């Protein structure tokens, strides 16, 4: 189990358990709520000058946080009003305590509450809601969005599901302030886009809560895997650094060539690409340090695979969806060596996914986009749940791609990536990603961590390039990313939504 708790993503239930353990340790619920509301108020005052604020409070703990925000802003001479969903005398516990400290009028929460406000604090439900946002709360937040008012969410925007990122009626916030650790819903789309800038506040929750809370979902980042990246030794030779073998296709040749360059740039000591004989001149003319070898019949690939020096295998980019690709996939899986299957190597099994799953007998990484995933697996639930079920069913590591790529192991461990810029929505970017994965695998890196590292490196390289990225730009930027990882403890930060 991964031990890097700084990257932990806590479910709503786990965060509730963290709060319970904190209170049991001697920090009162009233103090935790005070700390949370204070953090929100501080974040607001650091970003905006004083202006008219309406704090929309709900009937639970999120509303209690809102009362603290209101009191803190008012104490700093901000003009503040409070609107409450439900009667004040039905508040209880710490929320009732903090409501009692608010000495100004409390109005009923309606769209009219927004009149005159410039800044709206959404402290209605946060992650405490487990059903669609409806009624007057939904109407009020919708009215705030229609008026283009600036919204600050406490914990999560009300209507956003903290465990899944699903939006069940929430509206976009400019800023979201959560406590202790992020939740999966802060990073999974559409939740990530809904949160705006995301701040994680320290409210005094002790780290020892992780002795009781068994975390298995993490935000991707170098602290998870940087120590596991392959390192060169003074006496290494090219074979010590691993040999990646890729199968390229025809007439679609660009995808496999980009994947091969990515494998080499990821550190594989040797990279070979096996291609149809009629495509050999084109591949050879455009690849220099990467070796090219012909494939005429299946036996040609089997002869290559008999060479144990090929330490990791990749097929899929540009491979085509004919029977030859299927035969090549099965031959590669039969070796039980580290294997990456992408694109056509997945789609070819759409009529019988169980044939693919039954053939997986060694470390294997599948890298589907949503369309390819739907051809093999059930799509009837949220992204994290779907990916976990797919990993369990297939016995492979699943890299379910997107702006919120999820990496999942068959044992249920999951990593959510958040550093992918929108520029990666370009043809061939997925092919490059598969090449980075196989390059790391060729050097002997743990498959789950190699997949996670590759996804992050892919995003980091794209961020360095900036606008107008093309997929072939990514491999050439990998050395700069690796250099930063090796020479600095200040890693390239990941999401535009985090601080």
Here the CATH number for the domain that contains residue 366 is 3.40.1190.20
Cα separation of the two ends of the chain: 26
Q: 228 with 135, same domain?
A: no
What are the φ and ψ backbone dihedral angles of 68, each rounded to 5 degrees? -65, -45
pLDDT value for 232 = 82
Answer yes or no: is 494 within a domain.
Answer: no
Name the token pair of 425: 């929505």
DSSP secondary structure of 366-382: E---HHHHHHHS--SS-
Q: 338 with 459, same domain?
A: yes
Answer yes or no: is 499 within a domain.
Answer: no
Domain CATH number, residue 202: 3.40.50.10260
What are the φ and ψ backbone dihedral angles of 189, each rounded to 5 degrees? -75, 150
For residues 193 and 417, give the distance between their C-alpha atoms in angstroms, rounded to a whole number. Answer: 14
Answer yes or no: is 493 within a domain.
Answer: no
pLDDT value for 330 = 98
Q: 44 with 65, same domain?
A: yes
Report the predicted TM-score, pTM, of the whole model to 2 decimal places.
0.94
Domain count, the chain: 2
In the chain, what is the greatest distance between 2 CA atoms, to the nearest angstrom?
83
Q: Which domain holds residue 315?
A: 222-487
Torsion of CA 212, 214, 219, 224, to 10 degrees: 100
Q: Which residue has the tokens 């995808």?
A: 255
Strand order in the sheet with 197-201: 106-108, 80-84, 53-57, 119-123, 150-154, 175-179, 197-201
449-471 exposure pattern, b = at least 16 Cβ within 10 A, e = fewer? bbbbbbbbbbbbbbbbbeeebeb
pLDDT digits (tens, 9 = 90+) for 28-80: 999 999 999 999 999 999 999 999 999 999 999 999 999 999 999 999 999 99
Answer yes or no: is 217 within a domain.
Answer: no
Q: 245 with 372, same domain?
A: yes
Answer yes or no: is 384 within a domain.
Answer: yes
pLDDT value for 454 = 98
Q: 293 with 334, same domain?
A: yes
What are the φ and ψ backbone dihedral angles of 56, each rounded to 5 degrees? -95, 110
Answer yes or no: is 497 within a domain.
Answer: no
Q: 147 with 238, same domain?
A: no
pLDDT value for 499 = 32
Yes or no: say if 368 and 387 are a contact pair by the CB < 8 Å rule: no
**What sign results for the dihedral spanned by CA atoms 158, 163, 167, 171?**
positive
Q: End of a domain among 211, 240, 266?
A: 211
pLDDT value for 410 = 98
What is the separation of C-alpha 141 from the centre of its chain, rounded to a whole number of angstroms? 27
Q: Residue 491: enclosing H or E segment and its boundaries?
A: none
Q: End of a domain among 165, 192, 211?
A: 211
Strand order in the sheet with 397-400: 217-219, 414-416, 406-408, 397-400, 364-366, 338-341, 312-315, 243-247, 270-276, 291-295
pLDDT value for 494 = 44
Yes or no: say if 178 and 4 are a contact pair by the CB < 8 Å rule: no
Q: What is the percent of the chain with per-residue pLDDT over 90, rounded to a whole number?
A: 91
Q: End of a domain among 211, 240, 262?
A: 211
Q: 206 with 226, same domain?
A: no
Name the token pair of 306: 């008999």
Answer yes or no: is 56 within a domain.
Answer: yes
pLDDT in tens, the chain (499 residues): 456 789 999 999 999 999 999 999 999 999 999 999 999 999 999 999 999 999 999 999 999 999 999 999 999 999 999 999 999 999 999 999 999 999 999 999 999 999 999 999 999 999 988 899 999 999 999 999 999 999 999 999 999 999 999 999 999 999 999 999 999 999 999 999 999 999 999 999 999 999 999 999 999 999 999 999 998 888 788 878 899 999 998 898 999 999 999 999 999 999 999 999 999 999 999 888 999 999 999 999 999 999 999 999 999 999 999 999 999 999 999 999 999 999 999 999 999 999 999 999 999 999 999 999 999 999 889 999 999 999 999 999 999 999 999 999 999 999 999 999 999 999 999 999 999 999 999 999 999 999 999 999 999 999 999 999 999 999 999 999 999 998 754 444 443 333 3
Q: 345 with 430, same domain?
A: yes
Answer yes or no: is 495 within a domain.
Answer: no
Q: 156 with 299, same domain?
A: no
Closest to 267 measured CA to CA, from 412, 443, 50: 443
Name the token pair of 43: 């974040």
Closest to 349 measured CA to CA, from 303, 296, 390: 390
Q: 298 with 349, same domain?
A: yes
pLDDT value for 497 = 36
Q: 287 with 170, same domain?
A: no
Name the token pair of 82: 């409070």
pLDDT value for 77 = 98
pLDDT digits (tens, 9 = 90+) for 67-117: 999 999 999 999 999 999 999 999 999 999 999 999 999 999 999 999 999
Q: 201 with 282, same domain?
A: no
Closest to 324 measured CA to CA, from 293, 296, 361, 282: 296
């Amino acid at each position: 189990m991964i031990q890097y708790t700084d990257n932990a993503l806590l479910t709503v239930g786990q965060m509730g358990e963290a709060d319970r353990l904190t209170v049991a340790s001697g920090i009162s619920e009233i103090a935790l709520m005070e700390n949370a509301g204070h953090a929100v108020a501080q974040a607001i005052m650091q970003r905006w000058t004083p202006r008219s604020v309406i704090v929309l409070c709900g009937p639970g703990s999120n509303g209690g946080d809102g009362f603290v925000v209101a009191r803190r802003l008012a104490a700093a001479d901000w003009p503040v009003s409070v609107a409450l969903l439900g009667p004040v005398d039905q508040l209880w516990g710490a929320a009732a305590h903090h409501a009692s400290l608010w000495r100004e009028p409390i109005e009923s929460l309606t769209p009219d509450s927004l009149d005159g406000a410039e800044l709206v604090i959404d402290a209605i439900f946060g992650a405490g809601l487990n059903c669609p946002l409806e009624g007057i709360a939904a109407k009020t937040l919708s009215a705030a969005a229609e008026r283009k008012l600036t919204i600050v969410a406490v914990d999560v925007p009300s209507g956003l599901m903290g465990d899944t990122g699903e939006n069940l009626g929430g509206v976009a916030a400019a800023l979201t302030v959560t406590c202790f650790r992020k939740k999966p819903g802060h990073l999974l789309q559409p939740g990530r886009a809904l949160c705006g800038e995301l701040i994680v506040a320290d409210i005094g929750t002790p780290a020892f809560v992780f002795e009781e809370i068994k975390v298995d979902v993490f935000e991707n980042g170098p602290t998870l895997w940087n120590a596991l990246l392959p390192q060169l030794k003074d006496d290494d030779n090219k074979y010590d650094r691993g040999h990646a073998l890729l199968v390229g296709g025809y007439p679609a040749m660009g995808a496999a060539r980009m994947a091969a360059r990515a494998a080499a740039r990821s550190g594989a000591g040797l990279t070979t690409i096996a291609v149809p004989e009629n495509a050999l001149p084109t591949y050879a003319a455009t690849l220099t340090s990467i070796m090219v070898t012909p494939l005429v019949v299946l036996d040609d690939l089997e002869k290559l695979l008999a060479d144990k020096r090929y330490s990791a295998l990749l097929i899929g980019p540009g491979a085509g969806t004919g029977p030859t690709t299927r035969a090549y996939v099965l031959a590669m899986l039969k070796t039980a060596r580290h294997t990456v299957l992408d694109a056509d190597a997945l789609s070819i099994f759409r009529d019988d996914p169980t044939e693919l799953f039954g053939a997986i007998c060694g470390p294997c990484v599948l890298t589907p986009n949503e369309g390819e995933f739907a051809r093999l697996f059930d799509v009837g639930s949220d992204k994290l749940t779907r990916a976990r079920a797919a990993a369990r069913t297939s016995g492979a590591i699943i890299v379910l791609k997107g702006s919120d790529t999820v990496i999942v192991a068959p044992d249920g461990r999951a990593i959510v990536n958040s550093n992918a810029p929108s520029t990666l929505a370009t043809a061939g970017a997925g092919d490059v990603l598969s090449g980075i994965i196989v390059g790391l695998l060729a050097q002997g890196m743990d498959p789950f961590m190699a997949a996670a590292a590759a996804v992050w490196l892919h995003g980091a390289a794209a961020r360095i390039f900036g606008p107008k990225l093309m997929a072939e730009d990514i491999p050439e930027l990998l050395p700069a990313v690796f250099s930063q990882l090796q020479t600095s403890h200040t890693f390239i930060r990941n999401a535009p939504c985090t601080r």
